[in-house]
Amino acid sequence: MIKVGIVGGTGYTGSELLRLLVHHPGVAVSVVTSRADAGTRVDAMFPQLRGHVELEFASPDTPALSDCELVFFATPNGTAMQHAPALLSAGVRVIDLAADFRLDQVEVWEHWYGMTHAAPSLLGEAVYGLPEINREAIRGARLVANPGCYPTAVTLGLLPLLETGAEAGLVDKDRLICDVKSGVTGAGRKASTGLLMAEVGESFKAYSVSGHRHQPEIRANLRRATGQEVGLTFVPHLVPMARGIEATLYAFLTDDRTDLQTLYEQRYADEPFVDVMPSAAALETRSVRGTNLCRLSVVEPLGNGVVVVQSVIDNLVKGAAGQAVQNMNLMFGLDEALALPTVGLVP
Amino acid sequence: MIKVGIVGGTGYTGSELLRLLVHHPGVAVSVVTSRADAGTRVDAMFPQLRGHVELEFASPDTPALSDCELVFFATPNGTAMQHAPALLSAGVRVIDLAADFRLDQVEVWEHWYGMTHAAPSLLGEAVYGLPEINREAIRGARLVANPGCYPTAVTLGLLPLLETGAEAGLVDKDRLICDVKSGVTGAGRKASTGLLMAEVGESFKAYSVSGHRHQPEIRANLRRATGQEVGLTFVPHLVPMARGIEATLYAFLTDDRTDLQTLYEQRYADEPFVDVMPSAAALETRSVRGTNLCRLSVVEPLGNGVVVVQSVIDNLVKGAAGQAVQNMNLMFGLDEALALPTVGLVP
Amino acid sequence: MIKVGIVGGTGYTGSELLRLLVHHPGVAVSVVTSRADAGTRVDAMFPQLRGHVELEFASPDTPALSDCELVFFATPNGTAMQHAPALLSAGVRVIDLAADFRLDQVEVWEHWYGMTHAAPSLLGEAVYGLPEINREAIRGARLVANPGCYPTAVTLGLLPLLETGAEAGLVDKDRLICDVKSGVTGAGRKASTGLLMAEVGESFKAYSVSGHRHQPEIRANLRRATGQEVGLTFVPHLVPMARGIEATLYAFLTDDRTDLQTLYEQRYADEPFVDVMPSAAALETRSVRGTNLCRLSVVEPLGNGVVVVQSVIDNLVKGAAGQAVQNMNLMFGLDEALALPTVGLVP
Amino acid sequence: MIKVGIVGGTGYTGSELLRLLVHHPGVAVSVVTSRADAGTRVDAMFPQLRGHVELEFASPDTPALSDCELVFFATPNGTAMQHAPALLSAGVRVIDLAADFRLDQVEVWEHWYGMTHAAPSLLGEAVYGLPEINREAIRGARLVANPGCYPTAVTLGLLPLLETGAEAGLVDKDRLICDVKSGVTGAGRKASTGLLMAEVGESFKAYSVSGHRHQPEIRANLRRATGQEVGLTFVPHLVPMARGIEATLYAFLTDDRTDLQTLYEQRYADEPFVDVMPSAAALETRSVRGTNLCRLSVVEPLGNGVVVVQSVIDNLVKGAAGQAVQNMNLMFGLDEALALPTVGLVP
C-alpha cells in the first residue's frame, strides 16, 4: 500500500481525492491536513465518507507528511511551492493540483498569479500532468503539475487539429476561439458572496473576459505539443450547476481534405480516458459526471469552413482529482486506470 | 382600450403575453385560444394570473378573433401563416411570435422549416419586428414578424460592429462566431422527455451544432442592416435555468482605431430597451430577468485583435412577448415602453 | 412624496425594497446605507436597478436618515434596536425587517437571540406588522416589527383553525405540526460556505431541528390572535431554489362538522394579499414569486381527522420587503396595495 | 455469472440498474428490453454507459428473457403482473421494481392502482423486498416486490419507534405524520409537461395531498413489522433536484424514558445500509447520492414530547435499483453488499 497524504483536504478537490482514494486498492491515505479544521473528523465535515475515512484533519505542519510516499496538494495557488522543496528533499513525491508548477516560464507565472514564485528552480523539473501528451515523463516524475480544469478540456479538444504534420496545417493557428463553460465547483469551496446559490442559481454569465489565467496555460500546452505558437481567445462562463465543463472550440479550416472524425478517433484510439463520440451525437456534461473521462465531438457545421469541437469533462475528476490519481498510478507503476470511474452518474 | 386576442395561450410566450398585458393600461385581452384546453379557465392553468384574467380558453375557431384589433400568434411554427390572411382581410392586425414571416425568401424559409409556406405573398409585406432597426416600418405595419430570441440577442450585439461606414469595415465580416446559451423555456412548453428537469438539470450541452434555424434569420438581419452578406458560425447551448439568453460574440478586428465602448454607447443612446454596460462590468442574464431589456458589454481581451461582445436578454420578454408588446405599442401609436418592465427580478 | 431611507441596503431584503419602491408613486428613496460599501453606486452592485436608482450607498452614520419620514432597517438582528430610539425621537418612523421588535417579552427575545436587548422599553410600543391581524394598530404605529418569513406563512395558514369561537375549538391546539421549507434567500446574502451553490444545490435538508427562532414568534402570534397558548413543533428545511416558502401544516380535528374550505374563504374574503385556492388545486411557490401574496389551500386527506393546510409566499416579498411596503402604505394612509405586485413571474 | 434481464430499460430505474450491474462481478446482463426503442443501442440512449454495455434494446417479447436466471421489471405499474407468471413457471426468478406485488390485499391494491390485478394468486407468495425487515424471506424468494421509494425511507425511519415491546408503546400509533420530499426522478422518465424543468425548477410544492399510493404500502409495512394498525398522514412534495428523498417524520411520545439515539443505533447496528447519524448532525440528501444507504437522524426538539426523525435515501438506489440489487444478492447467496456504492457523490 502506497502511503499518501493530502494537504488541504477541506476543498472540493481534496474531498474528491478522498472519494476516489477510499476505493483504490493500492493506496492508504495516512494524513489529511487542514489548518482551520485541524482536530475535526474528516467524516464530520464530509458525511458522505462515513465508514470509509477514520482520520481527523491534521495541522499542515504535521511531520506525518514526510512519512508519505506521495503528497497531493489540494491547496490554493501559492501553497505547494512553499512546501514542495522540503518534501522532495525528504524523498516524498508531489502532485500539485493547483497552478504553482504549471507554467515553465517564471515571469509569465508571476505575471498571471501576482506573486513571487517561491521555488522557481523546480519549474524546469515539474512535469505537466496531462497523460495524453506526457505519459512517459509522468512515469518518472518526482513532481507533477496537475493541469487546470479548462486547460484539460481545451487541450484535449484542440490537439488533433494542431498536431498534424501537414505543411500548412489543418487550421488557422492564430484564430482559435475557446468558449468554455464551467459548473460552480470550479471556483472552489470558499466563503464568497459571489458563489452563493442565490447569486449564481438561475443565471448565466461570462467572467474574466478580459483575461483568465488558464489562457497562457493552454497556449503553453499547445506550444509544447506542436512546437508552434498559437493565437487563441478564451472566454470562461459560469453555469448554474455543480460539476462539469463544456468547451466549444472554433477553428477556421485551411485544409478541407482531412476527415476530422477519423483524425480524432485515431488520435485517441489508445487513450483510456478520452472518448470520441460518433458524429453528430449529443454531448452532455452529465455523461461524464463523477468520471475521469473526456468526451469529444467534432462537427463542421453547414460545411462552411469552420470546425466546432465540443469537449466535456467533470472538472473535479478529469479536471482535478481524477487526473491526479491517474498521474499517481503512472508514477507508481500501477494500472493507469485503477480506481477511476468511467460510468457517469446520470441523472 | 385596444381589443386583442392571443392564439395559442398555453405556452410560455402566451402566458408571458398575459403577464405583461394584464398590466397594460391601453389594452383589453378579449380572447385567448387553445385547441386542447378550450373551456378551461386560464387561471386554472396559470394560477399566477388569479384575479387578473377571468377568461376561459376559447377554441381557435372562435369568431371572437375577428372582432379584435390585434391578434398575437403564440403558436408553433406553421400556424400563423394559415390564419393570418383571413384576419388581415378582416382588418385585424397580426403579430406572429413564431417564425412564419421572419425570412423574406420563401425557399430559404421552406428549407429550414421543412414545410410549404401557406402565405408566401405576405412575406414581402411582413415587417421584421426589431424596433432597433425597423421602428418606422413597424409603426405602419399590419403584419409583424416578431424576431426569434437568439436573433434578437445576436443582432443587437453585432449591429454596431457591422453598420460602420468605414471602407474596410471594423471587423472581418466572414468570420463571425456566435456562441449562444439559452434557458430551457426557449424550447417551449411541450411534453418532451428531452426537456424534463431530470434530463436537463445539472448538465450543460450544445445542440443543433450542425445547423440551427436562427442562423439564416441572423444573417438576414445583418444583411438588411448593413447591405452586406456575412459569414457566421452559430452554436446554441442549453443552460439549466428557466429564462435568459447570453450570447458571446467574437469578431476579428480589422481596424483598431475605433473606440468600441463609445461606438456601442452612441449607437444605442436613444434606445429605451438597450443598455450598454460600463466597460468590464459583470453581465448576468438575471439582471434582465422579467424585463424587456437587452444588456450589452464590449471587451477586447488582452488587446489581441478580437472583440468579444456579451449580450443578455430574457428570452420570453425581449426575446418574445415583451418585444411583441413593444411592437404593438408602436403599431398603435402608444408610448413604446408602456407596460414593459425594466427592473430585473433578482435573485 | 414620502422621503424614506433604507439601512442595510446590500442584502436581499434591502435590494428587494428598492425593487418595489422604485415603482412606488408616493415614495422617494433618499438614502440607502451600507457600512462596507459606502461610496459604491447602488446600481454597480445591483445592475438590475440601472436607470432607476442614482444613489450611492451612504455610511449608516449619515445624518440624512434623520431627514427621512420613514426608515426601513434591512439589517441583521441587533442593529435596529441600537438606532431606532434616536430616529423615533427625531420624529422618524421605523419599520424593522429583522427580529429586534417581534417578541414582546424581553427575556424570551434575549434567550432566542443570544444578546441583551438595547431598547427593551420599545418592545411594548412596537406593533407586529402582520396586517391580517393588526391592520388598525399598524396604521397608527411609529415603530413596526415586520414579521419573519416563516411566521407569516404559518400564522396565515393556521389562523382560521384557531380563531374559531367554538367551545372545544376546531383542532387540538397542543399538537400542531409545522413542516416548512424555504428557498436559500431566507438565509440572507452573506459569505458563508454553507450557502454556496455547490453546497445547497441538488440537495435537500432540514435544519435547526432542535429549535428555531421563528417558533416562539409563531406561538406569540397565535396567542395574540386567539388568546390561548398552543403547542407546536416547527421544522424548517432548505430547498435548492432562490425564493419561496411552502408551509405544510398539520392539525388534528376535534370537530368534523365545520366546512374548512368555507371557513378559510370567509376569513380572508376581504384580504387583498391572501388567496384561498379552490379545493384540491395545485399550490406551487412559483405562483407567488415576486408578489406580495400568500396563497392557501386546505385539505382533509382520506377524511382521517387531520387537516393539512398548505401556505406559500415569496419569502422576500410577503415574507419581508413587500410586507414592509404594505405596512408603510398603512402607516402613511395610502392604498394598502400600492406598488405591490400580485402576478407571479412564472416560470 | 448470473444471467439477468431487465424489462423496461429506458426509464430511470432501468438505467440505474445498468449503472450498478456493469460493476457487479457476479452478474451478466444479457437482455434489456424496450418496446418503443427496440433496435437502438443502449449506449446511444445512455452515453454514460459507453464502453460498458454493448447491447441493443430488445423487444419485450424476446425469448431471451426466459433464458435468464433473474428478470428485473423496471416498468410502469401493471406490467410485471402480466408477465411474471410465465417467467416464474419457466424457472426464472423475478424482482418487480414497480408496485404490482407490494400489497398483499388484492382489493386494496385494485383500489389504489385503479386496475384489475392480473395475478392475484402471486400476492401471497411475493416477498416484500425490504431486507431490514424481511432478509430471510428474501433469500428464499422466487418473486420479490421491491419497495416503493417513499415507503423505504419512511418505514426505516419509523420502525424503531414502533417495534418496541413496551406495553403502552413509545409513541401514539394513531397520530403519525410523514412529511416527505422527493427529487423529480421519482416521477419517472416520461414525456409530461408537469415534469419539465421550466415547470418544476425554482419551485416547490406538495402533491397528492388528498391521498397517495405509498400511504397504504407504508401502513402495511408497519402492520407487518409491529402487528398493529397505525394511523398516519402522508404528504409528498416535489423538490427541484434530480435525486433524493428526505422524510421528516413526527410522532408524539407516550414514554419519555427511552433513549432514542441508543434505540436507533442498536436497531440498525448490523445493517450494512442504514447509518444512524450522531445526535444533531446535519442530514442532507446529497450525502447518500448514488449510494444504497439510508441515513437517519432522531431528535426531540425543545424536549416537548414530539420525536422528529429525518430519513434520507437516494430514491433511485436504496429507493429502487440499489435495493433491487441488494435483494438479488440475497436471493443468489452473494455478499449482500456486492456492487452497491456507499460513498455519496458530493457535490
Residue A115 CA to residue D266 CA, distance in Å, equals 55
State the smallest CA–CA distance between residue D186 and chain B in angstroms: 10
Question: What number is the average pLDDT over the span C21-25?
Answer: 97
Highest mean pLDDT among A150-154, A225-229, C301-305, D299-303: A150-154
Point out the least confidently predicted range of B40-49, B52-61, D299-308. D299-308
From chain C, pick out residues whose CB is under 8 angstroms from the CB of D211. 301-302
- Cβ-defined contact of D204 to C246 (cutoff 8 Å): yes
**Pairing between strand D93-96 and C127-128?**
unpaired
pLDDT of residue D203: 98
* The residue type at D160: P
Mean pLDDT computed over every residue of chain B = 96
pLDDT of residue B304: 81
pLDDT digits (tens, 9 = 90+) for B204-213: 999 999 999 9
Question: What number is the average pLDDT over the span D106-124?
Answer: 97
State the smallest CA–CA distance between residue B144 and chain C in angstroms: 26
Residue B56 CA to residue B58 CA, distance in Å, equals 6
In 3D space, the residue among A104, A264, A79, A101 whose CA is nearest the CA of residue A188 turns out to be A79
Higher pLDDT, D136 or B226: D136
- Position A12 pLDDT exceeds 90: yes
Contact A228, A173 (CB under 8 A): yes
pLDDT of residue B166: 61
Q: Which three cell numbers stand for residue C231?
A: 403547542
- Cβ-defined contact of D197 to B12 (cutoff 8 Å): no
Residue A185 CA to residue D85 CA, distance in Å, equals 50
In 3D space, the residue among D35, D105, D27, D32 whose CA is nearest the CA of residue D331 turns out to be D27
pLDDT of residue C227: 86
- Cβ-defined contact of D201 to B198 (cutoff 8 Å): no
pLDDT digits (tens, 9 = 90+) for A19-59: 999 999 999 999 999 999 999 999 999 999 999 999 999 99
State the smallest CA–CA distance between residue B219 and chain C in angstroms: 31
Q: Which domains does chain C have, with CATH numbers?
A: 2-125 (3.40.50.720), 150-314 (3.30.360.10)
From chain A, pick out residues whose CB is under 8 angstroms from the CB of D187. none
Confidence category of residue C344, pLDDT binned at 50, 70, 90? very high
Question: What number is the average pLDDT over the span D155-164?
Answer: 94
Cα angle vertex C137, ends C134, C139, to 5°?
Answer: 110
- On the CB side of C155, CA atoms within 13 Å amount to 28
Q: Which residues lie below 8 Å from residue B101, measured CB to CB, with a gap of 6+?
A: B80, B81, B84, B122, B123, B126, B143, B144, B145
Chains that touch C (3 or more CB pairs under 8 A): A, B, D
Mean pLDDT computed over every residue of chain A = 96
> Is B190 in the D-facing interface, judged by CB distances under 8 Å?
yes
Confidence category of residue B167, pLDDT binned at 50, 70, 90? low
Chain B interface, best mutation among C50, C243, C340, by max B CB count within 10 A = C50
Chain C interface, best mutation among D195, D205, D308, by max C CB count within 10 A = D205
> Is A185 in the C-facing interface, judged by CB distances under 8 Å?
yes
> Is A90 in the D-facing interface, judged by CB distances under 8 Å?
no
Select the residue of C51, C282, C289 nearest B342 (Cβ to Cβ).
C51
pLDDT of residue C167: 64
Chain C interface, best mutation among A195, A196, A200, by max C CB count within 10 A = A196
pLDDT digits (tens, 9 = 90+) for C209-235: 999 999 999 999 999 888 889 999 999
pLDDT of residue C60: 96
- Work out the end-to-end distance of chain B between its first and last CA atoms, rounded to an integer number of angstroms: 34
CA–chain centroid gap for C119, Å, is 22
Residue D335 CA to residue B276 CA, distance in Å, equals 64
DSSP A72: E
pLDDT digits (tens, 9 = 90+) for C143-178: 999 999 999 999 999 999 999 766 668 999 999 999
- Cβ-defined contact of C202 to A12 (cutoff 8 Å): no
State the smallest CA–CA distance between residue B187 and chain A in angstroms: 16
- Position B314 pLDDT exceeds 90: yes
Confidence category of residue D248, pLDDT binned at 50, 70, 90? very high
> Is B269 in the A-facing interface, judged by CB distances under 8 Å?
no
pLDDT of residue A303: 77
Residue C165 CA to residue C205 CA, distance in Å, equals 38
State the smallest CA–CA distance between residue D295 and chain C in angstroms: 12
- Residue written as cell 488541504? A8
Select the residue of D190, D191, D196 nearest B197 (Cβ to Cβ).
D196
pLDDT of residue C228: 86
Confidence category of residue C256, pLDDT binned at 50, 70, 90? confident
Percent of chain C with pLDDT over 90: 93
pLDDT of residue C164: 75
Confidence category of residue B256, pLDDT binned at 50, 70, 90? confident
- Cβ-defined contact of C198 to A240 (cutoff 8 Å): no
pLDDT digits (tens, 9 = 90+) for C40-81: 999 999 999 999 999 999 999 999 999 999 999 999 999 999
pLDDT of residue D143: 98
> Is A315 in the C-facing interface, judged by CB distances under 8 Å?
no
State the smallest CA–CA distance between residue A265 and chain C in angstroms: 34
Contact C57, C34 (CB under 8 A): yes
Point out the least confidently predicted range of A130-134, B330-334, D224-228. D224-228
Residue D90 CA to residue A173 CA, distance in Å, equals 65
The residues in A 15-74 lying below 8 A from B, measured between CB atoms, are none
pLDDT of residue C303: 77
Confidence category of residue B165, pLDDT binned at 50, 70, 90? low
- Position B277 pLDDT exceeds 90: yes
Question: What number is the average pLDDT over the span C262-276?
Answer: 97
Spell out the long-range contacts of C223-232 with Cβ–Cβ below 8 A and sequence spacing 24 or more.
Answer: C224/C128, C224/C133, C225/C133, C225/C155, C225/C159, C225/C162, C225/C163, C226/C162, C226/C163, C228/C162, C228/C173, C229/C173, C230/C162, C230/C173, C230/C174, C230/C176, C231/C173, C231/C174, C231/C175, C231/C176, C231/D304, C232/C176, C232/C177, C232/C178
Residue D14 CA to residue D74 CA, distance in Å, equals 5
pLDDT of residue A131: 98
Chains that touch B (3 or more CB pairs under 8 A): A, C, D
- Cβ-defined contact of A196 to C198 (cutoff 8 Å): no
The residues in A 192-211 lying below 8 A from B, measured between CB atoms, are 198-199, 201-207, 209-211
Contact C242, A197 (CB under 8 A): yes
Contact D323, D146 (CB under 8 A): yes
pLDDT of residue C241: 98
- Position D282 pLDDT exceeds 90: no
> Is C185 in the B-facing interface, judged by CB distances under 8 Å?
yes
- Position A227 pLDDT exceeds 90: no
- Position C282 pLDDT exceeds 90: no
- Residue C149 a catalytic site member: yes
Residue A264 CA to residue B37 CA, distance in Å, equals 50
pLDDT of residue A165: 66
> Is B111 in the A-facing interface, judged by CB distances under 8 Å?
no
In 3D space, the residue among B30, B8, B146, B192 whose CA is nearest the CA of residue B82 turns out to be B8
Strand order in the sheet with D176-182: D205-206, D232-238, D176-182, D245-252, D306-313, D294-299, D274-276
Q: Which three cell numbers stand for residue B160?
A: 454596431
The residues in A 232-251 lying below 8 A from B, measured between CB atoms, are 233-235, 237, 239-244, 246, 248, 250
- How deeply is A188 buried, as exposed, middle or buried, from its count of CB atoms within 10 A (0-12, 13-18, 19+)? middle
User: Which H, E and C letters describe chain C, residue by residue?
Assistant: CEEEEEECCCCHHHHHHHHHHCCCCCEEEEEEECCCCCCCEHHHHCHHHCCCCCCECECCCCHHHHHCCEEEECCCCCCHHHHHHHHHHCCCEEEECCCCCCCCCHHHHHHHHCCCCCCHHHCCCCEECCHHHHHHHHHCCCEEECCCHHHHHHHHHHHHHHHCCCCCCCECCCCEEEEEEECHHHHCCCCCHHHEHHHHCCCCEECCCCCCCHHHHHHHHHHHHHCCCCCEEEEEEECCCCCCEEEEEEEEECCCCCCHHHHHHHHCCCCCCEEECCCCCCCEHHHHCCCCCEEEEEECHHHCCEEEEEEEECCCHHHHHHHHHHHHHHHCCCCCCCCCCCCCCCC
Annotated catalytic residues of B are 149
> Is C310 in the D-facing interface, judged by CB distances under 8 Å?
yes
pLDDT digits (tens, 9 = 90+) for D14-70: 999 999 999 999 999 999 999 999 999 999 999 999 999 999 999 999 999 999 999
Residue B112 CA to residue B126 CA, distance in Å, equals 18
- Cβ-defined contact of A240 to C197 (cutoff 8 Å): yes
pLDDT of residue D166: 61
pLDDT digits (tens, 9 = 90+) for A319-330: 999 999 999 999
pLDDT digits (tens, 9 = 90+) for A240-262: 999 999 999 999 999 878 899 99
Confidence category of residue B32, pLDDT binned at 50, 70, 90? very high
- How deeply is B5 buried, as exposed, middle or buried, from its count of CB atoms within 10 A (0-12, 13-18, 19+)? buried
Residue D325 CA to residue A149 CA, distance in Å, equals 35
Angle between helices B131-139 and B322-331 (to 10 degrees): 40
From chain B, pick out residues whose CB is under 8 angstroms from the CB of D198. 12, 183-185, 189, 195, 242
State the smallest CA–CA distance between residue B255 and chain C in angstroms: 31
- Position A167 pLDDT exceeds 70: no
Select the residue of B15, B281, B347 nearest C185 (Cβ to Cβ).
B347
What are the Cα distances from residue C308, in Å, to A194, B106, C261, C299?
Answer: 38, 58, 12, 5
- Cβ-defined contact of D242 to A347 (cutoff 8 Å): yes
pLDDT digits (tens, 9 = 90+) for B97-120: 999 999 999 999 999 999 999 999
In 3D space, the residue among B79, B85, B76, B68 whose CA is nearest the CA of residue B30 turns out to be B68
- Cβ-defined contact of C47 to B281 (cutoff 8 Å): yes
What residue spans of A22-79 are helical by DSSP H?
42-45
Q: Which three cell numbers stand for residue C157?
A: 395558514
Chain B interface, best mutation among A175, A214, A215, A233, by max B CB count within 10 A = A233
Query: B–D: how many Cβ contacts below 8 A?
Result: 64
pLDDT of residue C153: 98
- Cβ-defined contact of B344 to C48 (cutoff 8 Å): yes
- Cβ-defined contact of D287 to A22 (cutoff 8 Å): no
Percent of chain B with pLDDT over 70: 99
Cβ of A101: how many Cβ atoms within 10 Å? 28
**Pairing between strand D57-58 and D70-73?**
unpaired
Q: Which three cell numbers stand for residue A280?
A: 453528430
ipTM of model over 0.95:
yes
Buried b (16+ CB within 10 A) or exposed e, D107-136: eebeebbeeebebeebbeebbbbbbbbbee
- Cβ-defined contact of A197 to C193 (cutoff 8 Å): no
Question: What number is the average pLDDT over the span D220-242?
Answer: 93
Residue B221 CA to residue B223 CA, distance in Å, equals 5
pLDDT of residue A281: 82
pLDDT of residue A112: 96
Percent of chain D with pLDDT over 70: 99
Higher pLDDT, D236 or A280: D236
Q: Which residues lie below 8 Å from residue C91, measured CB to CB, with a gap of 6+?
A: none
Residue C302 region by backbone torsions, left for phi larger than 0, else alpha for psi between -120 and 50, else beta: left
